[in-house]
Amino acid sequence: MPDVHDLGLMIDSRIPLIVIQSREETRALDMITRLALKRALPLYNWSCTEGLQRLGFGFDLVSKDSKSEPDEILAHIKSETTPSVFVLCDFHPWLEDAPKRVRMLKDIALRYERYRHTVILLSHELTLPNEIRHLSANFLLRLPSSEQILGLVREEALHWSQSNGAARVKTDNATLQQLVKNLQGMTFTEARRLARGAIVDDGAITSSDIPAVNKAKFELMDMEGVLSFEYDTARFNEVGGLENLKSWINLRKKAFAGETNTEHLDPPKGLLLLGVQGGGKSLAAKAIAGLMQIPLLRLDFGRLYNKFFGETEKNLREALKLAELMSPCVLWMDEIEKGIGQDQNDQGVSQRLLGTLLTWMAEKKHPVFIVATANKVQTLPPELLRKGRLDEIFFVDLPDETTRKEIFSIHLKKRSLKPDEFNLNQLAQMSEGFSGAEIEQSVVSALYSASAKDATVDTAAIVEELGGTQPLSVVMAEEIFALRAWASERTVKA
């Protein structure tokens, strides 16, 4: 196994302190045990609850010591003369503001050539103090490959079958491969648990299991707040118009998924949706994820900001790292101009965010499809708009008459109303200049009015609501005219 080989090289390289950050403690201990046995090295494991134990074959306890206090175990390691491997589990709390313990670890490391002790610090998260960092090395457990995940899924399917009278787990190859793809980025333990959860409820792996698996995966990553998981991604038949955008996505879907007949194509990077507020940009972002059948993560730039210097950029880096762990996914950067727009009054924070984002976009290797939405193009930096950063810039304009009919039909059906019973031509004509959101609101308002009057919603009720509304295209006519003029020769109509 590659992990065993690489950690063995670290031990053989005479590194006195090895840091393993992992949530898979059992797997790490099993790997270390095999390495110690192969090298005939005594192996000891310490935790604050169990004290000091000597490990033998597997996890069989050979001997146990009462040394449960951090100072006692460090003193014991210093006094031991036989070259050994010591694994300290969850030792990180005892290194904070503890100069004596840090010094004791440094003494152990500096005496390595004399006693040959290897100390492995195993925790879910650990950053060594500067005093001893140069004496250490970090080891990262590999995440399972797609082949290993497929093996885990098959093992769980076999276990379910054995517990249910040899019944077979129902699935199809496309759904199985989609599950395997969406479990990437998980540890062995987490991938097995999520695969088991998808199987045990009904003995089948279906497309309805995928969103639940994605949501559970996101919650395990523990980044709620800066990033949000959009559980219900819209289907493209819930988006009126946007025919060019739909065709563009359909042409690139297979290349993004890395299917065999598209190996010679570069995977698409993403796109920018520019347009009028309420025109359907957010719904389009959800629909793109739904069409690709991958998770949708929404990046909230407002929650990134922190008053402490450097923390805002750190939050962005962590959010982008999480997006990579969730890959393949769509990363929806909503109203991106609010985070990286050209602002001279933010002490350079927006410029540093832009630099962090552009560097990540240029270097990312994971399948993360970017969907950036913006309302004000004037504040967007030119570095983001140039070709090569994103694949295309689409302009989401106000819907034309045909699209308005389609939008009315969609929102009437959503509310259990029959479009055939409405004069859609009249509604489309009366709603000229209305955005998709404003059309939806006219239907909602007509329902409220009809409910108050104990009447039935009809064409006249919606026409009345339209007549009493001033759309954004009238209220902000100058800004929208300027936006349309800018986009006419610089973008592709969605």
Least confident of 39-53, 59-73, 152-166, 390-404: 59-73
111 and 164 inside one domain:
no
State yes or no: pLDDT of 132 exceeds 90: yes
What's the pLDDT score for residue 61? Answer: 47
Of 359, 380, 396, the one marking the end of a domain is: 396
Instruction: Tell me the sheet residues that pair with 123.
Output: 21
Query: What is the per-residue pLDDT across 248-279, written as a single tens digit (0 to 9) for each?
Result: 888 888 888 777 666 677 888 889 888 877 77
167 and 107 inside one domain:
no
* CATH number of the domain enclosing 423: 1.10.8.60
Q: Residues with Cβ < 8 Å from 385, sequence gap 6 or more?
A: 272, 377, 393
179 and 247 inside one domain:
no
Q: To which residue do tokens 């490391």 refer?
A: 109
Other Cβ atoms less than 10 A from the Cβ of 168: the count is: 11
Q: Flag whether 230 is in a domain.
A: no
* CATH number of the domain enclosing 185: 1.10.8
Q: Residues with Cβ < 8 Å from 460, sequence gap 6 or more?
A: none
State yes or no: pLDDT of 297 exceeds 90: no
443 and 376 inside one domain:
no
186 vs 193: CA distance, rounded Å: 10
- Listed in order, strand segments (DSSP E) in 98-221 are 118-123, 136-139
Residue 186, φ and ψ in degrees, nearest 5: -95, 160
What's the pLDDT score for residue 260? Answer: 62
403 vs 56: CA distance, rounded Å: 71
Q: Flag whether 183 is in a domain.
A: yes
Q: Flag whether 324 is in a domain.
A: yes
241 and 159 inside one domain:
no
9 and 84 inside one domain:
yes
Q: Residues with Cβ < 8 Å from 364, sequence gap 6 or more?
A: 320, 324
User: What is the residue-averaged pLDDT of the chain?
Assistant: 83
Number of domains in the chain: 4
Average pLDDT of span 99-120? 93
Of 137 and 345, more confident: 137
Of 106, 139, 172, the one marking the end of a domain is: 139
187 vs 189: CA distance, rounded Å: 5
What's the pLDDT score for residue 60? Answer: 45
Dmax over CA atoms of the chain, in Å, equals 93
336 and 433 inside one domain:
no
Least confident of 25-39, 71-85, 149-163, 282-296: 282-296
Distances (CA, A) of 149 to 3, 4, 186, 193: 16, 19, 9, 11
70 and 204 inside one domain:
no
378 and 406 inside one domain:
no
* CATH number of the domain enclosing 341: 3.40.50.300
- The predicted model scores a pTM of 0.65
Q: Flag whether 487 is in a domain.
A: no
Query: What is the per-residue pLDDT across 40-60, written as a single tens digit (0 to 9) for each?
Result: 999 999 998 888 888 865 444
164 and 286 inside one domain:
no
Task: Using pLDDT thresholds of 50, 70 and 90, give the confidence band for residue 141.
Answer: confident
* Percent of the chain predicted with pLDDT > 70: 90
Average pLDDT of span 339-365? 76
Q: Burial-class residue 302 by CB neighbours within 10 Å (0-12, 13-18, 19+).
A: exposed
Of 168 and 479, more confident: 168
- What's the distance, CA 146 to chain centroid? 18
- Listed in order, strand segments (DSSP E) in 98-245 are 118-123, 136-139, 227-230
Q: Flag whether 491 is in a domain.
A: no
Domain that holds residue 173: 146-220
435 and 417 inside one domain:
yes
Q: What is the dihedral of CA 384, 385, 387, 390, to 10 degrees?
A: 60
State yes or no: pLDDT of 439 exceeds 80: yes
15 and 111 inside one domain:
yes
Q: Flag whether 480 is in a domain.
A: no
Average pLDDT of span 189-206? 88
Q: Flag whether 339 is in a domain.
A: yes
Of 123, 139, 155, the one marking the end of a domain is: 139
Q: Flag whether 152 is in a domain.
A: yes
